[in-house]
Amino acid sequence: MSEAMDTTKLGEKIVNVLKTIFDPEIPVDIYELGLIYDVFVNEESEVKILMTLTTPNCPVAESLPMEVEEKVKSLDEVKSAEVEITFDPPWTQDLMSEEAKLELGML
């Protein structure tokens, strides 16, 4: 049970880190923007993040996943981190949180 709690707490820390990373073209963090599809944390504190980009031709297609990986790896509790990019399903504005939509004046 404590292992499950540890992975949950680590997952929350990872989400907090993801909320510090911003898409350079949109003044909203990548988590609220809906670019993070899933965060997997196993009992060995290995992390896998499934994310997308706003478009396949996104100017930060190379640098943004690397930034995500490096910032997540910087957490002491994280043993390793891997970012996988997917475009299935493709990102749409519907994936944005209410907070992001409000920030961008879409509500």
At 24-69, the pLDDT tens digits run 888 899 999 999 999 999 999 999 999 999 888 888 888 999 999 9
Predicted TM-score (pTM) of this structure: 0.90
In 3D space, the residue among 96, 107, 105 whose CA is nearest the CA of residue 29 turns out to be 96
> What's the total number of domains in the chain?
1
Residue 83 lies in a domain: yes
Residue 76, SS3 per DSSP: coil
pLDDT at 1: 42
Amino acid at site 26: I
Task: Name the residue among 20, 12, 36 with its Cα closest to residue 96.
Answer: 36
Query: Looking at residue 23, which CATH number applies to its domain?
Result: 3.30.300.130
> Are 31 and 89 within 8 A, CB to CB?
no
